[in-house]
């Protein structure tokens, strides 16, 4: 049986020219068609995967007071803990709790003439009661970054570009982000996270053994049920923009597990530098004729300026952070609810 969401083995990249060529063709087809695939052969071990899920489980088991002490609303960089129902997607609350972690850097000093997104740079918030969490999650972030870079290079090759075609827009100062997420059981099928596209280049997601993730395909929702040992990869808006819509950032969502169950996931969003502008790559003629142009949603404009795009989506998702730290920007056109 062929699956709608295929399994691709990254190890094929290093198995000789003919295997590599068919891998790149399969990668391009998967990314263009459904925009989602399972990645095997990525080199991250089962015990590393179990380790990060167990770290996530330990975090969510902390008393509420420990988690709320590092609430995201404290952070103008959108880092930290969001309680269940605290994030909005499509204007509606998501039934999940999560910890957001970005790249750890010193905040930039406030300069009114600097673009607003410069306020996104800064430290993470870590729970005092779980001192080992920082190293565990940053180690995961580093490992998955390596896989994401290999994949992005493969995407460049598959579009007939040099391997390093995207390098200048992420190297030195990338803006990766990851989360640990818990979907508590409740009214099965309700909004765990509402339908959305991801904003970066690529998302690499580790899910536990529980179902709930779905991708939109041809107007229907298709289950992306867990396959042990794989990561789920999907295309983000930056790759859609760069490829003039040849590659698709696909809409996806997570539904609430049944009462008594819970689902854990660890998404990693591979992003570009905040100061980058997304180039339009020149596709070979046979691909260019199939490029649809990036999907344009008048309610959710996409910006080629990475920092502006990131800030827009953070402000929409976290209105409490927006009110506390970005009140001066609210009311600007691109920040309307989306
Ligand atoms: O938890 C998941 O499986 C997916 C989460 C997701 O799509 C997101 O946070 O962007
Ligand atoms: Fe997503």
Q: What percent of the chain has pLDDT over 90?
A: 76
CA-closest candidate to residue 312, choices 320, 321, 325, 303: 303
CA dist 317 → 64, 76, 85 (Å): 22, 13, 11
- Model pLDDT, residue 338: 39
Q: Ligand 1 in contact with 181 (CB < 6 A)?
A: yes
CA–centroid distance, residue 268 to ligand 1 (Å): 9
- Mean pLDDT in the chain? 92
- Residue for token digits 């580093």? 142
CA distance 242 to 238: 6
Q: How does pLDDT run across 50-101, given as a tens digit for each residue?
A: 999 999 999 999 999 999 999 999 999 999 999 999 988 988 999 999 999 9
Q: What angle do CA 270, 168, 77 make, to 5 degrees?
A: 45
Q: Ligand 1 in contact with 205 (CB < 6 A)?
A: yes
Neighbours of ion ligand 2 (CB under 5 A): 198
| Residue of minimum CA distance from atom 9 in ligand 1 | 267
> Does the pLDDT of residue 319 top 80, yes or no?
yes
Q: How confident is the model at residue 5 (pLDDT cuts 50, 70, 90)?
A: very high
> Does the pLDDT of residue 243 top 50, yes or no?
yes
Q: Ligand 1 in contact with 193 (CB < 6 A)?
A: yes
| Residue of minimum CA distance from atom 1 in ligand 1 | 265
Phi and psi at residue 91, in whole multiples of 5°?
A: 80, 0
Phi and psi at residue 38, in whole multiples of 5°?
A: -95, 135
Looking at residues 274-290, what average pLDDT do you find? 91
- Asked which of 73-82, 255-264, 284-293 is least confident by mean pLDDT, the reply is 284-293
- Other residues' Cβ atoms within 10 Å of the Cβ of residue 337: 10
Residue from 249, 254, 270 whose mutation best tests the ligand 1 pocket (most atoms within 8 A of CB): 254
Contacts of 27 by beta carbon, 8 Å cutoff, 6+ apart? 8, 37, 151, 154, 155, 158
- Model pLDDT, residue 309: 86
Q: Class of 7-337 per CATH? A: mainly beta
- Model pLDDT, residue 337: 41
Looking at this predicted complex, what is its ipTM? 0.99
Atom of ligand 1 nearest to the CA of 263: 1
| Residue of minimum CA distance from atom 7 in ligand 1 | 253
- Asked which of 46-50, 283-287, 289-293 is least confident by mean pLDDT, the reply is 289-293
Q: Ligand 1 in contact with 252 (CB < 6 A)?
A: yes
Q: Are 127 and 60 in contact (CB under 8 A)?
A: no
| Residue of minimum CA distance from atom 10 in ligand 1 | 198
Q: Ligand 1 in contact with 72 (CB < 6 A)?
A: no
Atom of ligand 1 nearest to the CA of 224: 3
Q: How does pLDDT run across 171-183, given as a tens digit for each residue?
A: 888 889 999 999 9
Residue from 36, 203, 211 whose mutation best tests the ligand 1 pocket (most atoms within 8 A of CB): 203
Q: Are 338 and 299 in contact (CB under 8 A)?
A: yes
């Amino acid at each position: 049986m062929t699956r709608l969401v295929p399994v691709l083995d990254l190890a094929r990249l290093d198995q000789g020219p003919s295997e590599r060529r068919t891998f790149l063709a399969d990668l391009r087809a998967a990314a263009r068609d459904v925009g989602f695939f399972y990645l095997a052969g990525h080199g991250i071990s089962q015990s590393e995967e179990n380790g990060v899920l167990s770290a996530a489980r330990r975090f969510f088991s902390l008393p509420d007071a420990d988690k709320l002490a590092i609430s995201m609303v404290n952070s103008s960089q959108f880092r930290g803990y969001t309680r269940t129902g605290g994030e909005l997607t499509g204007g509606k609350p998501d039934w999940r709790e999560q910890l957001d972690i970005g790249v750890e850097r010193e905040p930039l000093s406030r300069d009114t003439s600097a673009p607003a997104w410069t306020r996104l740079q800064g430290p993470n918030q870590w729970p005092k009661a779980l001192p080992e969490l920082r190293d565990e999650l940053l180690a995961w972030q580093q490992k998955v970054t390596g896989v994401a870079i290999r994949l992005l290079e493969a995407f460049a090759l598959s579009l007939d570009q040099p391997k390093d075609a995207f390098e200048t827009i992420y190297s030195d100062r990338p803006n990766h982000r990851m989360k640990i997420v818990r979907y508590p059981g409740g009214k099965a099928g309700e909004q765990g996270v509402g339908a959305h596209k991801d904003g970066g280049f690529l998302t690499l997601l580790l899910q536990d053994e529980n179902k709930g993730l779905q991708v939109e395909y041809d107007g229907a929702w298709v289950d992306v049920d867990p396959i042990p040992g794989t990561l789920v990869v999907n295309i983000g808006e930056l790759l859609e923009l760069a490829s003039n819509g040849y590659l698709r950032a696909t809409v996806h969502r997570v539904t609430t597990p049944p009462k008594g169950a819970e689902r854990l996931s660890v998404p990693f969003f591979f992003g570009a530098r905040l100061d980058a502008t997304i180039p339009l790559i020149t596709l070979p003629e046979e691909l260019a004729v199939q490029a649809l142009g990036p999907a344009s949603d008048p309610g959710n404009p996409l910006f080629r300026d990475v920092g502006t795009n990131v800030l827009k989506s953070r402000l929409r998702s976290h209105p409490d952070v927006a009110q506390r730290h970005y009140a001066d920007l609210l009311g600007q056109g691109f920040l309307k609810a989306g």
